Structure 1
């Protein structure tokens, strides 16, 4: 029978988090400030776009004059001159369009830089699982769609202005034929923008969920296969794939209304001009003017409207949603950057503090047909405690830390960290998990150590943490904290020291060391563990691989997949045969003489 373990601890401290999520309503104001800060770019963009207006005007006006004043009167030379003027206007318009791209780039690239900085800052600070999708997809969506939005909106405005001015110049009655369906088509299109934005947001939420699921599943494929959990994992991932597919289909259905808008606003005027041709000709509209009107609609208004509907209908809704999500998901720093008490010094209200973490009847198995790795486990650990988790390979030690960290969800039971349910944003800020394979990235040593902090770390604090954990000799050998490091050039133990110091500097009061010191020598391992155990208010859980780690811990949890035992080293030596066997296997063999 599985043991139920409950420990009632002394007073301690709980984690404190601060949420500072900016309101999505501020997005238009931010966008306006962004554009006003680049007034010169906007003026340059407008100036080059004026050439396109002249090009559009001449596309209909030039052929109309060529017919009415030239070819239809037998004056081919006049007709050719007007056609030449039209061709020159097209060349000037093309020159302006080429210059437009440079101005658009001057608007787009600063926006991308701002968004990348925001996403990376949030991901590094909070470990947000959605940051991968934010950086690899959403920022690029924002960049591309903003560029497309500027291009198609600018093109439609100046093209429509040139075409409508040309229609009015040729014959005002032409506006009565072209104007009303264009307005109706635009109104119908505008009515679809809000539903499109909602469905685009649903799609992005589904995409983030799928990206987060794959980010957890893919690194553990070997373990999933080894434990027979393929069906369970495939079912969960398949549901997220289906959710994204449903969201994509719902988004695509609104394309029907976009087609209707284009048909009414861009193609119906062509039919109306042809149908009303006799009436127009009988009311003073010349044949050249009618041909010019058809040129305006087919060569200018229809392509510009098509680009606007397909561009703004997709790009505009995507840009609104993505910017709102990228701006609105920032959860602020894990704690205010002041000199007051940190998260490890905060208490939950005026009563007794919450436990560091608690498990209530927790059961977990890697597959429906697999035996539970953790079964019916109750465990309450007070703040400031030092727990060692021991057991044979496959007993569920790493699974336990993953459950507490929120990387795995229990089949049954509940888990809380600092009084908050797991998983949750408060939990992500209250715990730090250091796995056996330490993560170190190319950059300076300071950048690696400050990875989990919301702002710059003072040099004195870096030095104190390095001295406490045992990193100082390595830091000196690498050339100081500003030295750039190559992860491939570091040993496994050196990478573990960097990851341990990074976790030590974090504000998370609960540290979970999943064999995070296995590549260190016993002396360095002891120094690191004692440093974590001595953090004020900090709670330490160590998956031990040496007997010395278990002896240093105040309490020891023995796991073997079928039963558990809990107590001090001395108590377990008397009561647990498995623990005695583990201790015996850990005793080093006598040195040979």
Structure 2
């Protein structure tokens, strides 16, 4: 978190500058109210009173505009923080998958769960920065306004306010522990109920209803107990708010002898309109977002550590405020003797009780062949791509590349490009040479020209500002430059037009090696040497053959034809 804040000093500067504007009403409100009452309405000068209120209204309008700029500046800090966490998570999960080659297969949902924790951490981090910044600037502005307006009343407000903040701060460690305990209990009960739902038939067959009911009761009871623990600690927040926000009201009214009416109302305005909302926001933000961030970071930092890797390639670009690109792929795995792809009796299902997505598939793909995989949605095309790439392990059968199990092949020998391409915040050269650190500028220019992407910016890339098609071109060029001889395009051109898609597939076909394309359009199937149809079974042949012999393929072609 400290690194994320230090990395973007310009964004922090914008946050501070706009925060001064946003919290200006916190300083003006007491003076404006006191001036409007004492110098305006009570003095028989209504225009003067309205003038004071107009000044306050203008300050509020400027504050509303500044609040938007604060949100944008905080986002510039939170997004690199998210990138750092995502790099750690992906490296950790993939590293665990690499270590598991000779043991039981890793949890296929681990990456999805960890990515969810990253998103939660990013949102909580942004909320926490926003809340702490708002509290600090409001406290300084309102405190300065109160001291300058009513120095005799300031202690009656600021001392109990500081006590309330201290009470809340003391309750935070217990709240964090109990909130983390509740999250774990909630996940445990959800996993238990999910397992029971999936295994109802087996539970009934084994006569284990009573035992499973007792286990579910135990999990739910633990969750309820954890929730009660959180509720007990949250009671301290109510006490802190009472001491810090409402006790000062009583004290101000008690000590406000010989103080002008406008000044008393102005002091109460500082308390009720600035300090009390800031304290409530602090309790809500830190008590919810802060605890959620603590829990999410705890889950992320306890994920599998990344494998040792060589340092990232040196870049000719000057250092920037963007996060560093991820480290090169770990040097693990074996080199296959070729890129002939062989699947033997492959069956895969996403769970012990689920129907197989792919069943008893046998396929031989010689080196240098171009295969298109087609079929309706949900028939296992992306699953097949992950099996070929070694990211999934078949439940039955084998997947081998050059005689080596796909899961044990060194990452440099095969590359899979999914539909949603990943581009990290760095220069175009850093993105393209991630898989080929020794690529020369001439090779980079050649790759971009072959793929029809010479117009991509060479400056630092901002993934948020790029179109989906531009991100796909970056990922495709990265794969083109890699030494991999097996390339799998899983609808990797779906955001490109037909002409660009044809150029990309032609470039990879001429590049050499074996090409597998999960087809997005029928034109991809027409260009391939052979076509594999997945539709409750598997049919393979040339496009013209399948049109004549496979009714499902002919129907698919007829459905595709108008848009091809």
Q: Please give the TM-score of this superposition, normalised by the length of structure 1.
A: 0.54
1:167 to 146, 155, 158: 146
Q: Aligned equivalents of 1:176 and 1:475: distance in 2?
A: 83
Q: CA deviation at 1:110?
A: 3.1
> Could you tell me whether the CA contact under 8 Å between 1:57 and 1:163 is conserved in 2?
yes
1:308 to 261, 278, 282: 282
Q: Aligned equivalents of 1:109 and 1:497: distance in 2?
A: 30
Aligned to 1:45: 15
Aligned to 1:291: 265
User: In the alignment, is residue 276 of structure 1 matched against residue 255 of structure 2?
Assistant: yes
1:144 to 123, 127, 130: 123
Q: CA deviation at 1:459?
A: 9.3
> Could you tell me whether the CA contact under 8 Å between 1:466 and 1:501 is conserved in 2?
no
Aligned to 2:110: 131
User: In the alignment, is residue 237 of structure 1 matched against residue 216 of structure 2?
Assistant: yes
Query: Which shows bigger deviation, 457-466 or 46-55?
Result: 457-466
Distance 1:130 1:306, change over 3 A: farther
1:257 to 223, 226, 236: 236
Distance 1:39 1:487, change over 3 A: farther
2:163 to 168, 178, 184: 184
Query: Which shows bigger deviation, 60-69 or 116-125?
Result: 116-125
Q: Aligned equivalents of 1:105 and 1:317: distance in 2?
A: 20
Aligned to 1:359: none
User: In the alignment, is residue 60 of structure 1 matched against residue 8 of structure 2?
Assistant: no
Q: Aligned equivalents of 1:268 and 1:289: distance in 2?
A: 19
> Could you tell me whether the CA contact under 8 Å between 2:138 and 2:274 is conserved in 1?
yes
User: In the alignment, is residue 82 of structure 1 matched against residue 52 of structure 2?
Assistant: yes
> Could you tell me whether the CA contact under 8 Å between 1:149 and 1:315 is conserved in 2?
yes
Q: CA deviation at 1:122?
A: 3.6
> Could you tell me whether the CA contact under 8 Å between 1:145 and 1:318 is conserved in 2?
yes
Q: Aligned equivalents of 1:195 and 1:287: distance in 2?
A: 43
Q: Aligned equivalents of 2:129 and 2:337: distance in 1?
A: 46
2:294 to 305, 320, 329: 320
Q: CA deviation at 1:233?
A: 3.1
Distance 1:138 1:288, change over 3 A: same
Distance 1:303 1:337, change over 3 A: closer
Structure 1 or 2, whichever has the larger Rg, is: 1
Deviations 1:63-122 (A, max 9, x none): 111222222222222111111111111111111112212112222233334434433444
Aligned to 1:267: 246
Q: CA deviation at 1:304?
A: 0.9
Deviations 1:478-537 (A, max 9, x none): 837xx8887958679x9689748838x98xxxxxx86x13xxxxxx89x99x977xx9xx
Q: Aligned equivalents of 1:107 and 1:212: distance in 2?
A: 35
Deviations 1:211-263 (A, max 9, x none): 54456444444444444434333432332232222222211211100110011
Distance 1:475 1:459, change over 3 A: farther
Distance 1:463 1:235, change over 3 A: farther
Which of the pair has the greater relative contact order for Cα pairs under 8 Å at 6+ separation? 1
Aligned to 2:559: none
Aligned to 1:587: none
Secondary structure at the aligned position of 1:473 is classed as: strand
Distance 1:113 1:233, change over 3 A: farther
> Could you tell me whether the CA contact under 8 Å between 1:70 and 1:76 is conserved in 2?
yes
Distance 1:229 1:117, change over 3 A: farther
Report the count of equivalent residues: 363
2:304 to 311, 327, 330: 330
Distance 1:475 1:62, change over 3 A: farther
Q: Aligned equivalents of 1:531 and 1:112: distance in 2?
A: 36
Query: For residues 510-525 of structure 1, what are the structure 2 equivalents within 5 Å?
Result: 516-517=396-397
Q: Aligned equivalents of 2:215 and 2:275: distance in 1?
A: 48
Q: CA deviation at 1:455?
A: 4.3
User: In the alignment, is residue 112 of structure 1 matched against residue 82 of structure 2?
Assistant: yes
Consecutive unaligned residues of structure 1, counting only runs of 5 or more, are: 1-30, 339-453, 507-512, 518-523, 536-593
Q: Aligned equivalents of 2:224 and 2:169: distance in 1?
A: 26
Q: Aligned equivalents of 1:305 and 1:286: distance in 2?
A: 27
Aligned to 1:103: 73
Distance 1:95 1:499, change over 3 A: closer
Secondary structure at the aligned position of 2:304 is classed as: coil
Distance 1:212 1:331, change over 3 A: farther
Q: Aligned equivalents of 1:104 and 1:497: distance in 2?
A: 38
Query: Which shows bigger deviation, 95-104 or 201-210?
Result: 201-210
Distance 1:122 1:248, change over 3 A: farther
> Could you tell me whether the CA contact under 8 Å between 2:343 and 2:364 is conserved in 1?
no
Distance 1:129 1:314, change over 3 A: farther
Q: Aligned equivalents of 1:308 and 1:265: distance in 2?
A: 12
Q: Please give the TM-score of this superposition, normalised by the length of structure 2.
A: 0.56
User: In the alignment, is residue 72 of structure 1 matched against residue 46 of structure 2?
Assistant: no
Deviations 1:407-452 (A, max 9, x none): xxxxxxxxxxxxxxxxxxxxxxxxxxxxxxxxxxxxxxxxxxxxxx
Q: Aligned equivalents of 2:65 and 2:281: distance in 1?
A: 20
Q: Aligned equivalents of 2:375 and 2:91: distance in 1?
A: 22
Deviations 1:113-159 (A, max 9, x none): 44344334444534358837844753343233222212221111111
User: In the alignment, is residue 502 of structure 1 matched against residue 390 of structure 2?
Assistant: yes
Aligned to 1:389: none
